[in-house]
Amino acid sequence: MKHLRTVTLAAIAALALAPAVMASDEPHDKAIDREGRPIMDERGNCVQTKWHTANDICGAKAPVAPPAKKEALKLTREERTVYFDFNKSTIKASEQGKLNSLIKALRDAKEVESVDIVGHTDRIGSNSYNDKLSRKRANAVRAYLARHGAGIKVRKVDVEGVGKNDPVTHCGDLPRAELIKCLAEDRRVEIRLNYAK
Protein backbone atom coordinates (compact mmCIF):
# COMPACT_ATOMS: atom_id res chain seq x y z
CA MET A 1 0.00 0.00 0.00
CA LYS A 2 2.86 2.29 0.83
CA HIS A 3 4.39 1.45 -2.54
CA LEU A 4 1.09 2.23 -4.31
CA ARG A 5 0.92 5.62 -2.57
CA THR A 6 4.50 6.42 -3.70
CA VAL A 7 3.70 5.42 -7.30
CA THR A 8 0.50 7.48 -7.24
CA LEU A 9 2.32 10.54 -5.88
CA ALA A 10 5.04 10.10 -8.53
CA ALA A 11 2.40 9.91 -11.27
CA ILE A 12 0.67 13.06 -9.99
CA ALA A 13 4.00 14.89 -9.82
CA ALA A 14 4.87 13.77 -13.36
CA LEU A 15 1.53 15.05 -14.65
CA ALA A 16 2.00 18.35 -12.83
CA LEU A 17 5.48 18.83 -14.30
CA ALA A 18 4.53 17.78 -17.85
CA PRO A 19 3.71 21.34 -19.05
CA ALA A 20 7.07 22.60 -17.78
CA VAL A 21 8.90 19.76 -19.52
CA MET A 22 6.95 20.37 -22.73
CA ALA A 23 7.61 24.09 -22.51
CA SER A 24 11.33 23.43 -22.31
CA ASP A 25 11.09 21.66 -25.69
CA GLU A 26 9.82 24.88 -27.27
CA PRO A 27 12.30 26.64 -29.60
CA HIS A 28 13.48 29.13 -26.98
CA ASP A 29 15.64 29.20 -23.90
CA LYS A 30 13.69 31.64 -21.76
CA ALA A 31 10.52 31.44 -19.72
CA ILE A 32 7.58 32.90 -21.62
CA ASP A 33 4.06 33.98 -20.73
CA ARG A 34 0.82 32.87 -22.44
CA GLU A 35 1.31 35.34 -25.30
CA GLY A 36 4.82 34.05 -25.99
CA ARG A 37 6.59 37.09 -24.52
CA PRO A 38 9.71 36.49 -22.42
CA ILE A 39 9.20 36.76 -18.65
CA MET A 40 11.46 39.34 -17.01
CA ASP A 41 12.79 39.52 -13.46
CA GLU A 42 12.67 42.66 -11.31
CA ARG A 43 15.80 44.03 -13.03
CA GLY A 44 14.39 43.61 -16.52
CA ASN A 45 16.47 40.52 -17.36
CA CYS A 46 14.98 37.42 -18.99
CA VAL A 47 14.25 34.48 -16.73
CA GLN A 48 16.61 31.74 -17.93
CA THR A 49 15.30 28.17 -18.41
CA LYS A 50 18.33 26.60 -20.08
CA TRP A 51 21.62 27.71 -21.61
CA HIS A 52 21.37 27.35 -25.36
CA THR A 53 22.11 30.55 -27.27
CA ALA A 54 20.91 29.39 -30.69
CA ASN A 55 17.27 29.98 -29.74
CA ASP A 56 17.78 32.82 -27.27
CA ILE A 57 14.73 35.10 -27.57
CA CYS A 58 16.07 37.54 -24.98
CA GLY A 59 19.72 37.56 -25.92
CA ALA A 60 21.42 39.83 -28.37
CA LYS A 61 19.09 42.07 -30.28
CA ALA A 62 18.53 41.33 -33.92
CA PRO A 63 21.17 42.94 -36.07
CA VAL A 64 20.12 46.32 -37.41
CA ALA A 65 21.06 47.18 -40.95
CA PRO A 66 23.24 50.28 -41.20
CA PRO A 67 21.36 53.33 -42.47
CA ALA A 68 21.42 53.67 -46.21
CA LYS A 69 24.10 56.06 -47.39
CA LYS A 70 22.55 59.21 -48.78
CA GLU A 71 23.38 60.12 -52.30
CA ALA A 72 25.03 63.47 -52.83
CA LEU A 73 22.55 66.26 -53.38
CA LYS A 74 22.25 66.69 -57.12
CA LEU A 75 20.35 69.70 -58.36
CA THR A 76 20.39 70.95 -61.91
CA ARG A 77 21.47 74.47 -62.71
CA GLU A 78 17.84 75.33 -63.42
CA GLU A 79 16.79 74.07 -59.96
CA ARG A 80 19.43 76.34 -58.41
CA THR A 81 18.63 79.45 -60.47
CA VAL A 82 16.09 82.13 -59.56
CA TYR A 83 14.91 84.56 -62.27
CA PHE A 84 13.92 88.19 -61.79
CA ASP A 85 11.78 90.70 -63.66
CA PHE A 86 13.47 93.53 -65.53
CA ASN A 87 14.99 96.15 -63.23
CA LYS A 88 13.67 94.33 -60.10
CA SER A 89 15.26 92.64 -57.11
CA THR A 90 12.11 91.16 -55.55
CA ILE A 91 11.66 87.41 -55.80
CA LYS A 92 8.74 86.51 -58.04
CA ALA A 93 6.05 84.26 -56.56
CA SER A 94 6.72 81.78 -59.35
CA GLU A 95 10.34 81.44 -58.18
CA GLN A 96 9.55 80.97 -54.47
CA GLY A 97 8.52 77.35 -55.03
CA LYS A 98 11.94 76.67 -56.51
CA LEU A 99 13.62 78.18 -53.44
CA ASN A 100 11.35 76.18 -51.12
CA SER A 101 12.37 72.95 -52.89
CA LEU A 102 16.01 73.95 -52.57
CA ILE A 103 15.55 74.64 -48.84
CA LYS A 104 13.99 71.19 -48.34
CA ALA A 105 16.86 69.52 -50.20
CA LEU A 106 19.46 71.46 -48.19
CA ARG A 107 17.85 70.44 -44.89
CA ASP A 108 18.33 66.78 -45.80
CA ALA A 109 21.82 67.24 -47.25
CA LYS A 110 24.72 66.69 -44.88
CA GLU A 111 27.46 66.98 -47.49
CA VAL A 112 26.87 70.63 -48.51
CA GLU A 113 29.55 72.67 -46.74
CA SER A 114 28.97 76.14 -48.16
CA VAL A 115 26.71 78.04 -50.54
CA ASP A 116 27.61 80.81 -52.98
CA ILE A 117 24.75 83.09 -54.02
CA VAL A 118 25.69 84.99 -57.18
CA GLY A 119 23.49 87.75 -58.61
CA HIS A 120 23.40 88.68 -62.31
CA THR A 121 21.75 91.30 -64.52
CA ASP A 122 21.16 91.75 -68.22
CA ARG A 123 23.28 94.13 -70.30
CA ILE A 124 20.84 97.05 -70.23
CA GLY A 125 22.09 99.90 -68.01
CA SER A 126 25.42 101.08 -66.65
CA ASN A 127 28.00 98.82 -65.04
CA SER A 128 27.69 100.49 -61.63
CA TYR A 129 23.87 100.27 -61.67
CA ASN A 130 23.93 96.61 -62.71
CA ASP A 131 26.56 95.75 -60.09
CA LYS A 132 24.31 97.18 -57.36
CA LEU A 133 21.20 95.49 -58.78
CA SER A 134 22.94 92.11 -58.98
CA ARG A 135 24.00 92.38 -55.31
CA LYS A 136 20.44 93.35 -54.31
CA ARG A 137 19.13 90.26 -56.09
CA ALA A 138 21.68 88.00 -54.40
CA ASN A 139 20.88 89.53 -51.00
CA ALA A 140 17.14 89.02 -51.62
CA VAL A 141 17.76 85.30 -52.17
CA ARG A 142 20.02 85.09 -49.09
CA ALA A 143 17.33 86.81 -47.00
CA TYR A 144 14.67 84.41 -48.29
CA LEU A 145 16.83 81.39 -47.46
CA ALA A 146 17.56 82.81 -43.99
CA ARG A 147 13.89 83.59 -43.34
CA HIS A 148 12.49 80.25 -44.55
CA GLY A 149 15.47 77.92 -44.21
CA ALA A 150 15.36 76.90 -40.57
CA GLY A 151 17.23 73.64 -40.19
CA ILE A 152 19.72 74.20 -42.99
CA LYS A 153 23.17 73.34 -41.65
CA VAL A 154 25.62 75.09 -43.96
CA ARG A 155 28.84 76.51 -42.52
CA LYS A 156 29.21 79.46 -44.85
CA VAL A 157 27.08 81.50 -47.24
CA ASP A 158 28.81 83.93 -49.60
CA VAL A 159 26.89 86.59 -51.53
CA GLU A 160 28.25 88.22 -54.67
CA GLY A 161 26.95 90.42 -57.46
CA VAL A 162 28.65 90.26 -60.85
CA GLY A 163 26.40 92.68 -62.73
CA LYS A 164 26.19 92.07 -66.47
CA ASN A 165 29.58 90.34 -66.73
CA ASP A 166 28.36 86.74 -67.13
CA PRO A 167 25.46 86.62 -69.61
CA VAL A 168 23.89 83.35 -70.74
CA THR A 169 21.87 84.82 -73.62
CA HIS A 170 22.97 85.89 -77.09
CA CYS A 171 20.58 88.58 -78.24
CA GLY A 172 21.35 90.80 -81.18
CA ASP A 173 20.25 94.38 -81.73
CA LEU A 174 16.54 94.27 -81.05
CA PRO A 175 13.91 96.88 -80.23
CA ARG A 176 13.88 97.54 -76.45
CA ALA A 177 10.76 95.50 -75.55
CA GLU A 178 12.01 92.48 -77.52
CA LEU A 179 15.53 92.87 -76.09
CA ILE A 180 14.18 92.91 -72.51
CA LYS A 181 12.25 89.71 -73.25
CA CYS A 182 15.25 88.07 -74.93
CA LEU A 183 17.59 88.88 -72.01
CA ALA A 184 15.26 87.36 -69.35
CA GLU A 185 17.63 84.49 -68.48
CA ASP A 186 20.44 86.94 -67.68
CA ARG A 187 18.37 88.45 -64.85
CA ARG A 188 19.06 85.73 -62.34
CA VAL A 189 20.66 84.54 -59.12
CA GLU A 190 22.59 81.29 -59.23
CA ILE A 191 22.97 79.26 -56.06
CA ARG A 192 26.15 77.20 -56.12
CA LEU A 193 26.59 74.35 -53.67
CA ASN A 194 30.07 73.45 -52.42
CA TYR A 195 30.40 69.89 -51.11
CA ALA A 196 32.50 68.56 -48.22
CA LYS A 197 35.40 66.42 -49.35
Considering the domain 78-195, what is its CATH architecture?
Answer: 2-Layer Sandwich (3.30)
Alpha helices (H) along 25-126: 93-108
Burial label for 123, CB within 10 Å (0-12, 13-18, 19+), is middle
Question: For position 67, what pLDDT does the model report?
Answer: 60
Question: For position 154, what pLDDT does the model report?
Answer: 79
Question: For position 160, what pLDDT does the model report?
Answer: 97
Domain boundaries, the chain: 2-55, 78-195
Backbone φ, ψ for residue 2 (5° rounding): -65, -40
Q: How many CB atoms lie within 10 A of CB 190?
A: 19
Question: For position 113, what pLDDT does the model report?
Answer: 86
Question: For position 21, what pLDDT does the model report?
Answer: 46
Question: For position 120, what pLDDT does the model report?
Answer: 98
Helix (H), strand (E) at residue 8: helix 2-24
Helix (H), strand (E) at residue 53: none
**In sequence order, which residues have a C-beta less than 8 Å from that of residue 182 and are 6 or more positions away?**
169, 171, 174
Question: For position 126, what pLDDT does the model report?
Answer: 97
Quick check: 106 and 150 in contact, CB under 8 A? Answer: no
Per-residue pLDDT of the chain (197 residues; tens, 9 = 90+): 555 555 555 555 555 555 554 444 445 556 677 777 777 777 777 766 665 555 555 655 556 666 655 555 678 899 999 999 999 999 999 999 999 999 988 887 777 888 999 999 999 999 999 999 999 999 999 999 999 986 777 788 999 999 999 999 999 999 999 999 999 999 999 999 888 77
